[in-house]
């Protein structure tokens, strides 16, 4: 990081993976609006690997947990002497970080619209957005200083090396043609659909279309997907990097899962997604793209944004309902590829 750079723009969106994905179009708007400025993005360590596939991000500052990580990231950012900062997170932590970075122009959500209103008071340029819009469009409005502009593509790029690695392990797993991707994991228990229902769904797809299903999983989810191993109609992928996960998703026939990062990456890569939603509102936080279909719980508490609940939430969505939607999507995709 160079200390004599004076035309940098600071971006704060620390987490989570899906939220960072939803911020990519807004950052592309910044890059297109200020092509001579470097984009410096502060993000939680572990998610920084995603941004390595976003060529319009010039510098990635990976923030470690706790006060020490906050302080170290702040010290690095101050060397940039950025001229503008955009807080796309809307939290007290992100607003404070932006303020302490000593950037003269600090842009973000109006306090009444920020996730934590106090975070907005650390900014000196507060943007009112149309809160009825999808969060992707809200963030683009912030990047455009309140104007409604077209949402650009997400701009994620998959490397040839990651594609080659995925091709190798798909061959080992016996997958040589179209496949479905299943995402049983999620950060919140309320966002998870039962693993046994995913297994049943994969069996129905294979019986009807002879298309296998590939299960992706992340850190801490190996035990969750263990019951799916050894079943003929399901293959469990090995541990994958973010790049390898992207290479898997970009080839998927359809991707099925709850409100989780990989589902949003799949949509960003232009793949059809079937989202199972309960605690979060799909009109605001759903996969962003024309090829996304959403199934919601019938619970009166849907959209509660609770991580835990005594209600079944997403787990209450009947597997038959998911199958009815999925078989239409699979057939349509196979027809498009001339394999129907």
pLDDT digit string (tens) for 209-218?
999 999 999 9
Residue 4: what pLDDT? 47
Report the C-alpha gap between 106 and 102 in whole angstroms: 9
**Please, which residues have CB within 8 angstroms of residue 33's CB and are 6 or more apart in sequence?**
143, 144
**Please, which residues have CB within 8 angstroms of residue 169's CB and are 6 or more apart in sequence?**
237, 238
User: Collapsing DSSP states into helix, strand and coil, what is residue 335?
Assistant: helix
pLDDT digits (tens, 9 = 90+) for 22-39: 999 999 999 999 999 999
Output the six-digit token pair for 241: 């990097």
pLDDT digits (tens, 9 = 90+) for 236-284: 999 999 999 999 999 999 999 999 999 999 999 999 999 999 999 999 9
60: confidence class by pLDDT, cuts 50, 70, 90: very high
Give the dihedral sign, CA 279/283/288/290: positive
Output the six-digit token pair for 18: 């899906």
2: confidence class by pLDDT, cuts 50, 70, 90: very low
CA geometry: angle 153, 250, 51, nearest 5 deg: 55
Higher-pLDDT residue of 187 and 54 is: 54
Beta bridge partners of 29: none
Q: Set out the domains of the chain in order of their start, with CATH numbers.
A: 8-143 (3.40.50.2000), 160-336 (3.40.50.2000)
């Amino acid at each position: 990081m160079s200390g004599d750079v004076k035309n940098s723009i600071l971006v704060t969106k620390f987490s989570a993976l899906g939220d960072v994905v939803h911020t990519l179009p807004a950052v592309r708007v910044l890059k297109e609006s200020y092509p001579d400025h470097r984009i410096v993005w502060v993000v939680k360590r572990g998610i920084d690997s995603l941004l390595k596939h976003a060529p319009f991000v010039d510098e990635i500052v990976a923030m470690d947990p706790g006060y020490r990580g906050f302080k170290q990231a702040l010290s690095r950012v101050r060397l940039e002497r950025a001229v503008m900062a955009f807080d796309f997170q809307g939290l007290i932590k992100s607003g404070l970080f932006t303020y302490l970075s000593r950037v003269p122009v600090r842009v973000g959500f109006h306090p009444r619209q920020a996730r934590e209103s106090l975070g907005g008071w650390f900014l000196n340029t507060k943007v009112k957005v149309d809160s009825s819009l999808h969060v992707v469009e809200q963030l683009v409005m912030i990047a455009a200083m309140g104007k409604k502009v077209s949402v650009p593509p997400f701009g994620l790029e998959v490397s040839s090396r990651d594609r080659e690695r995925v091709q190798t392990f798909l061959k080992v797993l016996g997958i040589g043609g179209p496949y479905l991707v299943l995402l049983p994991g999620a950060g919140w228990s309320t966002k998870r659909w039962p693993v046994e229902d995913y297994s049943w769904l994969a069996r129905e797809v294979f019986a009807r279309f002879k298309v296998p299903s590939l299960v992706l999983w992340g850190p801490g989810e190996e035990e969750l997907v263990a019951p799916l191993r050894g079943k003929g109609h399901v293959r469990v992928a090995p541990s994958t990097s973010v790049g390898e996960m992207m290479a898997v998703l970009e080839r998927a026939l359809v991707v099925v899962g709850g409100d989780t990062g990989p589902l949003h990456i799949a949509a960003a890569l232009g793949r059809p997604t079937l989202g199972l939603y309960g605690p979060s509102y799909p009109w605001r936080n759903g996969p962003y793209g024309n090829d996304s279909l959403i199934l919601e719980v019938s619970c009166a508490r849907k959209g509660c944004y609770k991580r835990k609940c005594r209600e079944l939430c997403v787990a209450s969505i009947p597997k038959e309902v998911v199958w009815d939607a999925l078989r239409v999507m699979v057939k349509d995709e196979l027809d498009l590829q001339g394999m129907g």
